[in-house]
Chains A and B, each alone.
Chain A
Amino acid sequence: MGSVSVIDQLKKTQILELLEQGKRIDGRALDEPREITIEINAIPKANGSARVRLGDSEVLCGVKIQPDKPFPDMGDKGIFMCTAELLPLSHSTVETGPPQAPVIELARVVDRGIRESHMVDVSQLVIEKDKSVVGVFADIVVIDYDGNLFDACSYSATAALLTSKTPKWTMVDDTITLVDGEESPLPTTTIPVSVTMGKIGNHIIVDPNGDEWDSMDARITITSDSDGNIVALQKGGSDGFTLEEINQCGDTSVRVGAKIREIIKAAQKGSQ
């Protein structure tokens, strides 16, 4: 393990020295995300799916839509749930077994960004009030790792949900019955986009790659919706941000997020 930390320290020094000159280790501008590629409907058996590459990070989201029981206090709303898992083939350090804190945080941050934007209109997902509703499950798996899984996962879930087809169910004699051949797009209201920024020294960079991720002092993930409102935020890492930095990150997330939203929209159009 000793040699690993030496390499990390050298890399961190190099990344910091480059940043002092306004440069990044892979040549990007400070506020420039890596290339994003989106493959819609990668899993035809799912109701919606998207395989997303963000640089060399690769994730796959599959959406399953099926009847479910409503939560006791929310009988007039459908269910939306988003999970994320690091597959052990994504990196040599990932272990099988119950998820560790960083993976739980990843799943919850991605879920919160989509949930708080009210992207999925759960009020339209009721089969019979208080009895039966439609559940939408967006399960994300990480296939390859090179930093910033928050955004890769968020884009795959958003793209998969946008292109999901909802089957139709009705109540016939108190049993849920599938109406054959009637599918409609999943009701959505907005397109949430998360933008994750890392802080190294006093420098803030958008979409840190794997090496930058290992060198970060702190990070912040901000999700904005189609109207340019900020809908969710998560700060992480063991350093802090100044008020000025927080304001700057808010502006950057909305501006960069708007560009990424166009990429997601283009992928959605391309699939129709």
Chain B
Amino acid sequence: MGGRDATMVLLDENGIRCDGRKVDETRRIMIKAGGLKNADGSAYIEFGDNKILVGVFGPRDVHPKHMSDTDTGILRVRYHMEPFSVGERKRPAPSRREIEISKVIKEALEPAVMLEKFPRTAVDVFIEVLQADGGTRCAALTAASVALADAGIPMRDMVAAVASGKVADTIILDVNNEEDQAGQADMPVGYMPSLEKITLLQIDGVLTPEEYKKCVQVGVDGCKQVYELQKKALKDKYFGNGGD
């Protein structure tokens, strides 16, 4: 990632951020459902300069067998970054960061997926970050929800995700890479809008109790915007212009 620029203005006097956005504005988001031939379900998301591909397999047999659960299906998630996805080449082996993010995303998706309907099986979610630019876990979680729906796996709701944060003493929506590096706080939020449940929440940075409450609210409101784009991606694939 590029070096920190001490002179960079994160928020100017008109409330405009370093990439030209307003404080409550997300980056450009494009979600596409489907696209992969072999996967049971898939999705592709461009979230600002993030480019992430998700493939879903299952419900299917569990290997190794001892991982299977007689009472419920299990969800397995792998979050993985390509060596060329970041500024300096990343070594191909999974890092501790990728392993943690895989777990956090898995636990954010579990409440949404009706795994109890498929005992002794596994649903595998493979997340591939082709290009990273801050906020990959939120973009990945958003795309993973669409891929699960595309695979036809019964779900209670989709999880939408976006980060809020604090930059130049102001609460903002959708923290980009520069703001993450130089800002004061970063709060990824994953939220199921229909069930009104937060399933992913992390904080890096310092917030007062008031700022904390505001930050969660801004994140949740952002998730509702993302949710509309998720639904649109599925509608475009299954009820697109080609006919109903």
Contacts and interface: CB of A to CB of B under 8 A. Distances in A.
A144 B36 CA distance: 6
Contacts of A155: none
A141 B131 contact: no
Interface stretch (A88-96, A123-131, A214-222, A253-261): A88-96
A49 B60 CA distance: 34
Interface string A133-147: 000010101011110
Interface residues of A, number: 29
Contacts of A44: 49, 131
Given A43-B131, A85-B92, A144-B38, A96 B78 contact: yes
A259 to B, nearest CB: 25
A252 interface: no
A149 to B, nearest CB: 13
A62 B89 CA distance: 10
Interface in B122-158: 124, 126, 128, 130-133
Given A60-B130, A83-B92, A89-B54, A141 B82 contact: yes
Nearest to A138: B84
A159 interface: no
A265 B19 CA distance: 36
B36 A64 contact: no
Nearest to A139: B83
B60 A62 contact: no
Nearest to B54: A89
6 contacts: A46-B131, A83-B83, A89-B54, A92-B39, A137-B84, A139-B84
* Residue in A60, A89, A145 with the greatest tally of chain B CB atoms within 10 Å: A89
A88 B63 CA distance: 14
A137 B89 contact: yes
A197 interface: no
Interface in B26-78: 36-40, 42, 49, 51, 53-55, 57, 60, 63, 78
A143 B84 contact: no
A64 B128 contact: no
Contacts of B88: 64, 66
A87 interface: yes
Contacts of B92: 83, 85, 139
A143 B57 CA distance: 14
B87 interface: yes
B124 A88 contact: yes
A211 interface: no
B122 to A, nearest CB: 12
Which 7 pairs show the lowest CB-CB distances between chains A and B? A62-B84, A89-B55, A64-B89, A89-B126, A139-B83, A46-B84, A88-B126
Contacts, number: 84
B85 A62 contact: yes
B130 A90 contact: no
A92 B57 contact: yes
A119 interface: no
A56 interface: yes
Contacts of B60: 92
A143 B55 CA distance: 9
A63 interface: yes
A269 interface: no
Interface string A60-74: 101110100000000
Interface in A87-118: 87-92, 95-96
Contacts of B85: 43, 45, 62
B126 A144 contact: no
Contacts of B37: 56, 144, 146
Contacts of A46: 84, 131
A195 to B, nearest CB: 23
Nearest to B78: A96
A91 B131 contact: no
